[in-house]
Amino acid sequence: MIEVYIDGASTGNPGQAGAGIFIKANGTVKHYSIPLGEMTSHEAEFWALIKALEICTESSYSVVSFRTDSKIVEDTVEKRYAKREPFKTLIDKAVTYIDNFDLFFIKWVPSKSNPADQLAKKAIQLNRK
């Protein structure tokens, strides 16, 4: 099973944002810091999910277990529903990827247990380059 840790962060609400993705797959670890431009922290959390789903799809992973420190992302994915935009559009996009995995799990973890946290903060800095 592939373990995927995700985190999104922004410098304001909205502000410069970034996604951090940490993937443990078959004995290897991959790190991603992806600048996202300007958005809210909640939007960045959803974009971290989507970017990680894209990476897992491109890598042909079939069984993935995601970890996030965002309760809103975990709850929205579990329900597969969001009432308001932009989250409705973002969860709909995420579900199109999720449905292609043989098994998909998502679980909330505390920020201190999320190695993607520092990667998201690094991604914010990449917006400025």
Q: Which domain holds residue 96?
A: 2-126
CATH number of residue 48's parent domain: 3.30.420.10
Burial class (CB in 10 A: 0-12, 13-18, 19+), 111: exposed
pLDDT tens per residue across span 8-65: 999 988 999 999 999 999 899 999 999 999 999 999 999 999 999 999 999 999 999 9
Model-level pTM greater than 0.85?
yes
Give the integer Cα–Cα distance in Å for 97 and 56: 9
14, 16, 18, 15: which is closest to 6 by C-alpha?
18
Total domains present in the chain: 1
Asked whether the beta carbons of 32 and 119 are under 8 A apart, the reply is yes
pLDDT > 90? residue 128? no
